[in-house]
Amino acid sequence: MTDFHRIKRLPPYVFEQVNRIKAAARANGADIIDLGMGNPDLPAPRHVIEKLVETAGKPRTDRYSASKGIGGLRRAQAGYYERRFGVKLDPDTQVVATLGSKEGFANMAQAITGPGDVVLVPNPSYPIHAFGFLMAGGAIRSVPAEPTPAFFPALERAVVHSIPKPIAVVVCYPSNPTAYVASLDFYKDLVAFAKKHELIVLSDLAYAEVYFDGEPPPSVLQVPGAVDVTVEFTSMSKTYSMAGWRMGFAVGNERLLAALARVKSYLDYGAYTPVQVAATAALNGPDDCIVEMRDIYRRRRDALVDSFGRAGWPIPTPSASMFAWVPIPEPFRGLGSLEFSKLLVEKADVAVAPGIGFGEHGDDYVRIAIVENEQRIRQAARNIRRFLETADKTLHNVVPLAARR
């Protein structure tokens, strides 16, 4: 059997390699502190779980639901956008519920991508931002991830030199993996650029509510006229710690959302109705659970920056997201992020995500997720301190020369 066309576009997940070593270490009894995957460890809010339980078993709730989401859920999402961003959305035409934002993003890529269409994707980025388009038969061109003024000349160069002309640009702020945040002024320039070059803007706002300092992250749709070119994705996974429930949203441009809804109508019948009813309750408030979530991650962020810094590994302080994007300590930089991450599991009992898993420009970094409690984070720092103190010996004894870059 020859290789499958689509599967050739999906190399094995880099993170799997670290996961295998992690599983082997655990099987040998090691207590691995897992700061690798961005899997929220907090429980969903009590009142949301109660709503789910109350709804399950009611008449008609076991039937197929609505692919683009029940009306009440779409109205609740429109309500959230109005409260939080001052953005008015028509729940019938400008909101689609998705089976997690990742599914929504991937199916949007399916909906809009023709063979060989070029899409501008930040590097490093969350893998689906690139692979959604590669799976759909498109091609990607990397652009910088950092939302600085240098971003636009790079974007302009990418537009001018892409053949064919790109159809879309992806942005994600607060960003996974880099924790970069963007200002509304940046989005104003982005929308103007997109309109000038006839680009679709796909904004992943999964971390809209996970911020610690400064202003809450804005939405691209706050820019007047952005809705002409923009679809934005949000998620219940991080805001309400409901990652396993698979509930997210796409909102914005009607024509793009109609295309997404069409693809989804062939693929799914919507989430289990009680999940949608409970998600509606979450979005309609109260919001104290969001404040609590933020406080917990902020304390963990502070513990990470403080304890790792004192252990000899300075952490750039993330102001939002669930991640720190951290340069590999100097003595180990030559190893590359995958070998370094494997070494951390084996020698320090700490798992992190290798930056290379997010793109070639990530290889000098690892991503540290604050998904363990403060005590475990401080324990990780103690392990790291011992690891760094023996760096010379480790490099000399353990790492075969061949593994060094």
Q: What are the residues binding ligand PLP (CB under 6 A)?
A: 38, 100-102, 126, 172, 176, 204, 206, 235, 237, 243, 248
Distance of closest approach, residue 220 Cβ to ligand PLP, in angstroms:
14
Nearer to ligand PLP, 104 or 274 (CB): 104
Nearer to ligand PLP, 293 or 384 (CB): 293
CB 15 within 8 A of CB 357: yes
Q: Are strands 248-252 and 230-235 parallel, antiparallel or unpaired?
A: antiparallel
Nearer to ligand PLP, 234 or 383 (CB): 234
Q: How far apart are CA 176 and CA 102, in angstroms?
A: 13
Distance of closest approach, residue 237 Cβ to ligand PLP, in angstroms:
3
Nearer to ligand PLP, 173 or 313 (CB): 173
In the sheet where 353-354 sits, what is the strand order? Answer: 323-327, 365-369, 353-354
CB 297 within 8 A of CB 372: no
Distance of closest approach, residue 238 Cβ to ligand PLP, in angstroms:
7
Distance of closest approach, residue 271 Cβ to ligand PLP, in angstroms:
12
Distance of closest approach, residue 39 Cβ to ligand PLP, in angstroms:
8
Nearer to ligand PLP, 235 or 273 (CB): 235
Q: How far apart are CA 338 and CA 353, in angstroms?
A: 8
Q: How far apart are CA 339 and CA 308, in angstroms?
A: 20
Reduced to 3 states (helix: H, G, I; strand: E, B; else coil), residue 374 is: helix
Q: How far apart are CA 354 and CA 365, in angstroms?
A: 7
Nearer to ligand PLP, 126 or 365 (CB): 126
Residues sharing a CB contact under 8 Å with residue 345, sequence separation 6 or more, in sequence order: 18, 21, 22, 25, 32, 351
Q: How far apart are CA 266 and CA 287, in angstroms?
A: 35
Q: How far apart are CA 56 and CA 303, in angstroms?
A: 40
- CA angle (397 as vertex; 391, 401 as ends), nearest 5: 100
Cα dihedral across residues 146, 149, 154, 160: positive or negative: positive
Nearer to ligand PLP, 226 or 271 (CB): 271
Distance of closest approach, residue 401 Cβ to ligand PLP, in angstroms:
36
Distance of closest approach, residue 242 Cβ to ligand PLP, in angstroms:
8
Nearest residue to the partner ligand PLP, using Cβ: 100
Nearer to ligand PLP, 204 or 339 (CB): 204
CB 167 within 8 A of CB 200: yes
Q: How far apart are CA 248 and CA 257, in angstroms?
A: 14
Nearer to ligand PLP, 175 or 394 (CB): 175
Nearer to ligand PLP, 128 or 377 (CB): 128
Nearer to ligand PLP, 85 or 245 (CB): 245
CB 356 within 8 A of CB 340: no
Question: How far is the CA of 182 from the CAs of 87, 151, 154, 172, 216, in angstroms?
Answer: 18, 11, 17, 9, 10
Distance of closest approach, residue 180 Cβ to ligand PLP, in angstroms:
12
Distance of closest approach, residue 84 Cβ to ligand PLP, in angstroms:
17
CB 250 within 8 A of CB 106: no
CB 343 within 8 A of CB 398: yes
